[in-house]
Structure 1
Amino acid sequence: MPETAKKRPEFRNLNVFSDLPTYRWPLAALVSGMHRISGLLIFLLLPFIIWMFDTSVSSELSFNRFTSVFSEGAGFVPGWFIKLVVLALIWAYLQHFIAGVRHIYFDITHMTTKSRGRRTAAATLILAFGLTAILGAKLFGLY
């Protein structure tokens, strides 16, 4: 008798604590979820973004204060932590933008297939993380 294939589990009602740690997300679903997370991160850090923009363009004195925050810190927050927050914002912006272009492309062309979704999801992740690494290296003074 031929050996039967192992039955894959069906996930109908996902339990966050027992099912999600073992659930295998397809790459396209992972990129879609990261698009939502990056949008939330941008929204939550919007006051910080506005402060950075305002401080950097108000005057030469405020720009000097803005740049010193990255090396000396601000109050009790060290400079390296502010750089990490800015790095997270860089990733969030790039991920959200590239994934958004991907979603718009599929909405306009209606050329959605499983293989194309997987390829564009992989390209989105590679572009977002690659550009984040390059800009993060610049942020941390590696070049």
Structure 2
Amino acid sequence: MGKTVKKQRPVNLDLTTIRFPVTAIASILHRMSGVITFIAVGILLWLLGLSLSSPEGFMQAAAIMESFIVKFIIWGILTALAYHIAGGIRHVLMDFGILGETLEAGTRSAQISFIITVVLSILAGVLVW
């Protein structure tokens, strides 16, 4: 058997003291928005299918869309989609070298994608309500 190596690394178990950089938050949110968008496709396709099935189906879909909670969910889906598109464009621009691959460029582009998402989210809210 080999020797046991004792690691003298500091261990931080207080997760409230960990501060993620804005680039890490942007990356995590981009993945989450992708999952939300993927799941939302099923919901939206079901609603579209219902609305196209018959005049009665259209009336059912319209009645479903009148609910505040459904409007809130649709707004959330549109916000997630907006962020995913903004983050995706950011990644493509970085991959092509247009934005550069420095920490400063990554931080600035993440902040800009957040701002774009807020604007698009407000516009989506106006559209839904």
Per the TM superposition, whether the score is higher than 0.5 is yes
Instruction: Please identify which structure carries the higher helix content.
Output: 2
1:120 equivalenced with 2:105 (yes/no) = no
2:20 aligns to what SS in structure 1? coil
What is the CA distance between 1:84 and its match in structure 2? Answer: 1.2
- Contact 2:79 2:124 survives alignment (8 Å): no
What is the CA distance between 1:115 and its match in structure 2? Answer: 1.5
Structure-1 separation of matches of 2:50 and 2:11: 48
What is the CA distance between 1:120 and its match in structure 2? Answer: 0.8
Say if 1:14 and 1:81 are closer, same or farther in 2 by CA, change over 3 A. Answer: farther
Structure-1 separation of matches of 2:12 and 2:38: 27
* Structure 1, 88-97 or 23-32: larger mean CA deviation: 23-32
Aligned-residue CA RMSD in angstroms? 2.3
Query: Identical aligned pairs, as a percentage?
Result: 24
Structure-2 separation of matches of 1:126 and 1:35: 14
In structure 1, stretches of 5+ residues that fail to align are: 1-10, 72-78
Residue 30 of structure 2: which of 35, 42, 55 is its match? 35
AA aligned opposite 1:139: V
Taking the TM superposition and a 5 Å limit, the aligned residue runs for 1:66-85 are 66-71=61-66, 79-85=67-73
The count of corresponding residues between Structure 1 and Structure 2 is: 120
User: Please, what TM-score do these two structures have when normalized by structure 2?
Assistant: 0.79
Taking the TM superposition and a 5 Å limit, the aligned residue runs for 1:44-123 are 44-71=39-66, 79-109=67-97, 111-123=100-112
